[in-house]
Homo-oligomer: A and B are copies of this chain.
Amino acid sequence: MTNADEQDQAAGISEVAERVGLNPDTIRYYERHGVLPPPHRDAGGRRSYDSGAVHLIEVLLHLRDTGMPLARITEFTHLVARDPAGVDERLALLKDHRAEVAKRIRTWTKSLHVIDQKITDYQARADNDE
């Protein structure tokens, strides 16, 4: 079983990509654009991600997947890099985003009702035409 070893330290880009569900090219793209910080490199110059780096990717993906634009995620990453201890700005950014996500969930829920109404309409028409 290779599992125990795979839990530990330093994976290559392909393995990380697979683990987080991204294309390796997407990870490189994010790095070029500052969305992700540059990872360590092994002796041969290849990218090497420890578990902390992988965890950061996973957190940032939660932000992306709740609609935060890459440019905004990049700000977050830069805050971490510039001042790893200074948590205040990051906290503000997250709270902002949290509010937006909550709002979007509310508006989607409303739209869901509109769609349901339309479905009900159509169902009635379909039943009438029987």
> Which A residues lie at the B interface, using CB under 8 A?
59, 62-63, 65-66, 85, 87-88, 90-91, 94-95, 97-98, 101-102, 104-105, 107-109, 111-112, 114-116, 118-119, 122-123, 125-126, 129
Contacts and interface: CB of A to CB of B under 8 A. Distances in A.
A62 B105 contact: no
13 contacts: A66-B108, A66-B112, A66-B115, A85-B129, A87-B122, A88-B126, A91-B119, A91-B123, A94-B115, A98-B116, A101-B108, A104-B108, A105-B105
Given A65-B107, A87-B122, 16 more contacts: A62-B111, A63-B115, A66-B108, A66-B111, A85-B129, A87-B126, A90-B122, A91-B122, A91-B123, A91-B126, A94-B115, A98-B116, A98-B119, A102-B112, A105-B108, A105-B112
B122 A98 contact: no
Nearest to A63: B115
